[in-house]
Amino acid sequence: MTLLTTWPESGPETVVRRTSDPAAIAAALAPLGVRYERWPVREDVPADADADAVFAAYGPEIDKLTAAEGFRTVDVVALHPSDDPQWPRTARAAREKFLAEHTHDDDDEVRFFVAGAGVFYLHVRGEVHAVYCEKGDLLGVPRGTTHWFDMGTSPSFTAIRFFHEEDGWIGTFTGSDIAGRFPDFDAIHSGHAGSAA
């Protein structure tokens, strides 16, 4: 279930907003310049589908968004639990890359979740907005927006990424420790987002 939780930037002791209603989520994020929408879910696309299958399934939506927004690069990123002995190290490294607060100076961060889930944390106007995204959710974080992303201790998701710049994901890190002061993916996923991680 998609979920938006908002706290004051001072900490998660007080919940300002919590909603799972897609229309309410979109309405709350729009004034921040954040795009949130639901796309039809293709149930016949397995969680571990390769990029070709994902592009084939979501081609009309990808083409429409790319044409409307002028994206130059679209790719598919997937991370799912594996029996590979290196999986714990791979998962930890992938998670840590995005977990610190950062911005993107030259591009928006636009993701559509084909499978699985992840949480985008938006640090805007004195508040932290945690958007728990799942299959069918598209989120667009405007360039310059301070944020971080948590995929959890055992990541499992497939997402389509859209880029205006061919260089792809380039983050400018703020050096803040704020991400460690708010409930992480695992706490939100398990429904225990009322206290810090």
Question: Can you say which residues are annotated as belonging to the binding site?
Answer: 102, 104, 109, 147
Q: What is the DSSP letter of 36?
A: E
Q: How many CB atoms lie within 10 A of CB 96?
A: 9
For the chain, count helices (H), then strands (E): 4, 11
DSSP letter, residue 113 = E
| Distance from C-alpha of 148 to C-alpha of 43, rounded to nearest angstrom | 29
Annotated binding-site residue numbers for Fe(2+): 102, 104, 109, 147
Residues placed in the known binding site for Ni(2+): 102, 104, 109, 147
CA dihedral 75, 6, 25, 160 (to 10 degrees): 10
Gap between the Cα atoms of 7 and 133, Å rounded: 17
